[in-house]
Amino acid sequence: MEFTVAITGASGSIYAQQTLVHMAASGVVERINLIMSQAATTVARVELGIDLAGAEKAKINRWLGLPVDSRLVHLHRLDNIAAKPSSGSHPQQGMVIVPCSMGTLGAIASGAGTNLIHRAADVTLKEGRKLILVPRETPYNAIHLENMLRLSRAGAHIIPASPGFYHRPQTIEALVDHLVFRILDHLGVPHSQVTQWKGLKQQPGELINTSEE
């Protein structure tokens, strides 16, 4: 499988890191086209303390815990609008933008994109491939909501970075991964965690999270 993963300047760089880590660990993803916006590198520096601006392949691989010479992740410059993900004739299964800023979301929703992330998303939609957006902002204004509705109607999957707590996460990693596994579910990438809700059996005075069968 091949995917494009874009990281933009919304809060939640860790979601991007873990999405890439779990894609790499899946064993079925053979190539990842990685695109980062300038703001994404600023946010990663603030949130993860890592400088990804102008990062080379080896640094990205180290960041993801991959062998330095791994050829899984192909880094594309944001201004390289001739890179492989810019064309629908380049076969791949889909694209995820994680996290997705309101700026990038608006650019894609308007169809007036200016960089490789916008172009690749536009191409993914026009080819009828899976486009997943993981927006993060709070609160949403009417423009954000209208843009999400517009994109949803155009075929995009909106998976907001709003993690659930029903699996009782004990660590930030567990909280993050729960969302990441939902993203992978939508992309059809296998992972080790069970994300399927088994049903809740209600008995007098207690709630049991178990299979209904």
- Give residue 53's Cα distance to chain centre: 19
Name which of 124, 151, 163 is nearest 35 in CA terms.
Answer: 124
Least distance to ligand FMN from the beta carbon of 99, Å? 7
Q: Residue 102 interacts with ligand FMN (CB under 6 A)?
A: yes
Applying CB under 6 A, which part among 42-50, 66-74, 122-130, 179-187 lies near ligand FMN?
42-50
Q: Residue 137 interacts with ligand FMN (CB under 6 A)?
A: yes
State the DSSP H helix or E strand holding residue 183, giving kind and residue range, or none if neither.
helix 172-187
Applying CB under 6 A, which part among 32-40, 56-64, 145-153, 185-193 lies near ligand FMN?
32-40
User: Residue 99: is the preceding peptide bond cis (ω within 30°)?
Assistant: yes
Q: Residue 80 interacts with ligand FMN (CB under 6 A)?
A: no
State the DSSP H helix or E strand holding residue 151, giving kind and residue range, or none if neither.
helix 142-153
Least distance to ligand FMN from the beta carbon of 180, Å? 17
Query: What is the x/- site pattern for ligand FMN, positions 174-213, by CB under 6 A?
Result: ----------------------------------------
Name which of 82, 71, 153, 74 is nearest 120 in CA terms.
Answer: 82
Task: Determine the Cα–Cα distance for residues 183 and 45; give it in Å rounded to an integer.
Answer: 24
Instruction: Note the residues at the interface with ligand FMN (CB under 6 A).
Output: 8-11, 37, 39-40, 42-43, 46, 101-104, 136-137
